[in-house]
Amino acid sequence: MAMARSSRAGREADISYLAVSLFDKVRSIKNSNPAVARNIDRLEREIRERLESIQAQIAKLNKHDRELVTVLVINGLHRTADEILIER
């Protein structure tokens, strides 16, 4: 049992290290490209505002319809993000 805990703790430490390393790398990239980073941050805020507008419209539907439309919107957003950010 102690071995299982030790192995799990090791995996969690590895994941934590990877997460911190990735965060540090992204911060370095953003610091090296401040204008691009600012533009991306601004555009992400605009996307968030649009999503809040979409959510406000969805909120006008009955509960059952809200759940279904929410799933479909999320699916569409994921598909669009994949098409634009990954497949191009």
pLDDT at 67: 97
Count Cα atoms within 13 angstroms, Cβ side, for 30.
11
Spell out the residues 6+ positions from residue 57 whose beta carbon is closer than 8 angstroms to its own.
none
Query: Cα(7)–Cα(14) distance, rounded to whole angstroms?
Result: 11
pLDDT at 4: 54
User: Where exactly are the structural domains of the chain?
Assistant: 47-88
pLDDT at 11: 81
pLDDT at 17: 87
Per-residue pLDDT of the chain (88 residues; tens, 9 = 90+): 455 556 878 888 888 989 999 999 999 999 999 999 999 999 999 999 999 999 999 999 999 999 999 999 999 999 999 999 998 7
